[in-house]
Amino acid sequence: MSEAAVRVIGLWASPYVIRVLIALKLKGVEYEFVEEVVGKKSELLLRSNPVHKKIPVLLHHGKPVSESLVIVQYIDEVWSSSSSGGAPAAAILPADPYTRAVHRFWAQYADDKVPSAVRILKGTDAGDKEQAAGQLAAALQLLEQAFVELSHGKRYFGGDSVGYLDIALVSHVGWVKAVEKIAGVTLLDKAKVPNLVAWADRLCAHPAVADAIPDADKFVEYSVKNGLERRRWRGGARDRRVGEPLRHPRVCGAEAQGRGVRELAGVVGNKSELLLKSNPVHKKIPVLLHHGKPIAESMIILQYIDEVWGSDDVPAILQADPYERALQRFWAQYVDDKIAHASHVLRGVVNGDLDEAAAQVSTALQHLEEAFAKCGQGKSYFGGDDIGFLDIVLGSHLGWLKAVETIAGVKVLDETKLPELTAWAQRFYAHHAVRDVMPETDRLVQFNAYLIDVLKAKASSN
């Protein structure tokens, strides 16, 4: 018997798997579901996702795509028309670049805030349950407001049809309802989030969703039966970054597109009124303002820049092929997950084991050395002949990686171990869109010392 063209490696209870199944059903794509066993990782999973070794994984003609939101975007891009040959399939992501950026922002927000609180409430992770319930209630309140703004009085976040943010958020609804029973709390409260409750009811009754999200009692039974307090099947969940490197090097994405950019520098320790108004949710940099409209989160900004200023005259930041684009998104997220926090530890900005952090960076860079050979295909950059999405994301960390070598006395970019990556870094630094954006190493070392002084002063005043 031949393999199905589309296969999903997953576990029915994972919200990250659920969203992949919903996206496939919306597009009318037939697939084979390959169920994993809790506590065991199949050879197929380990071979298909050797980096994270986690579900979900989509196999399309044998090619693996990992990370649930990356998979959902891949599904939208590959099956832009009906797979049955009928009417065109509705797009999952909005057509308008700004609306698309906003949906990406809130989808990431949901993944940052909901799963961590749910794990505490159901006993998977240690933590203050009252605080977790408060965090989740606050997140749902913000999502209630977002629904009012984005739906424009229609049925879904995506308008008349189910979209990207609908899929990302509804995949958590089953576990939110389950922890209401497990922890004895009310979260989807009609009195506080009436629009979100009505949205959840409508969406859970949608034919593409109804069979993908089991009843809350089944989640409760699963939680008890499988002892989830000991087995952490997060299926792609990640801890929110504790901090970020100076993110303004990613403005080189706009420079690469040949666009004039006015950079409004912030002051460490103070948040400007403009920042607080432009990113009231996270209150963090970077924020891109385009005709006064704010876009937050650096990788979302990069994709927005590529979509708004894409033309035949400038190289695209993201590649045209959906599979290559999915790979770039996967590795870009890997970079931010593995390098940012470890870099902060090595800089002394956050507490942590220095040897462990150095080892984490070393392992990540070794994986990226191998990824360069696959993505670059013998060319100068991850993006091919010119810098692309992954080049910009990884390149934005280069300045701090070099600074860390001075601050922590460790060798990070070792030419003997990482010959391809070291040569790539030199080419990247010399690129015309990068030269004037990347701070010098000495300047970053001085800034780090200043930042530590600011943090110490703030801690002593509390």
Verify that 151 and 124 share a domain, yes or no.
Answer: yes
Do the bridges between strand 6-10 and strand 32-35 make them parallel or antiparallel, or are there none, so unpaired? parallel
Verify that 63 and 101 share a domain, yes or no.
Answer: no
Q: In the listed set 78, 105, 134, which residue is the last one of a domain according to the structure? A: 78
Verify that 184 and 59 share a domain, yes or no.
Answer: no
Residue range of the domain that includes 71: 6-78
User: Is 126 inside any structural domain?
Assistant: yes
Verify that 295 and 444 share a domain, yes or no.
Answer: yes
Q: DSSP label at 237?
A: -
Verify that 386 and 359 share a domain, yes or no.
Answer: yes
User: Is 155 inside any structural domain?
Assistant: yes
Verify that 298 and 411 share a domain, yes or no.
Answer: yes
Q: What is the pLDDT along the chain (462 residues), one digit of tens a residue?
A: 578 999 999 999 999 999 999 999 999 999 999 999 988 999 999 999 999 999 999 999 999 999 999 999 999 999 986 554 556 678 999 999 999 999 999 999 999 999 999 999 999 899 999 999 999 999 999 999 999 999 999 999 999 999 999 999 999 999 999 999 999 999 999 999 999 999 999 999 999 999 999 999 999 999 888 764 444 434 443 332 323 333 344 444 444 455 455 545 555 668 999 999 999 999 999 999 999 999 999 999 999 999 999 887 888 999 999 999 999 999 999 999 999 999 999 999 999 999 999 999 999 999 999 999 989 999 999 999 999 999 999 999 999 999 999 999 999 999 999 999 999 999 999 999 999 999 999 999 999 999 999 888 888 887
Verify that 103 and 178 share a domain, yes or no.
Answer: yes
Q: In the listed set 47, 78, 109, which residue is the last one of a domain according to the structure? A: 78
Verify that 219 and 253 share a domain, yes or no.
Answer: no
- CATH at 68: 3.40.30.10
Domain tally, the chain:
3
Helices (H) and strands (E) in the chain, counts: 19, 6
Q: In the listed set 226, 259, 287, which residue is the last one of a domain according to the structure? A: 226
Q: Residue 268 region, left (φ>0) first, then alpha (ψ -120 to 50), else beta? A: beta
Alpha-carbon gap, residue 182 to 174, rounded angstroms? 12
Alpha-carbon gap, residue 257 to 273, rounded angstroms? 29
Verify that 47 and 112 share a domain, yes or no.
Answer: no
Verify that 284 and 355 share a domain, yes or no.
Answer: yes
Place of tokens 């171990």: 417
Verify that 278 and 165 share a domain, yes or no.
Answer: no
Distance, CA of 71 to chain centre: 11
Could you tell me the maximum CA-CA distance found in the chain, to the nearest angstrom? 69
User: Is 361 inside any structural domain?
Assistant: yes
Verify that 69 and 103 share a domain, yes or no.
Answer: no
Q: Is there a contact between 372 and 413 (Cβ–Cβ < 8 Å)? A: no
User: Is 181 inside any structural domain?
Assistant: yes
SS3 category, 16: helix
Distance, CA of 141 to chain centre: 22
User: Is 232 inside any structural domain?
Assistant: no
- The structure's pTM equals 0.90
- CATH at 140: 1.20.1050.10
Place of tokens 């004039």: 260
Place of tokens 């992770």: 125
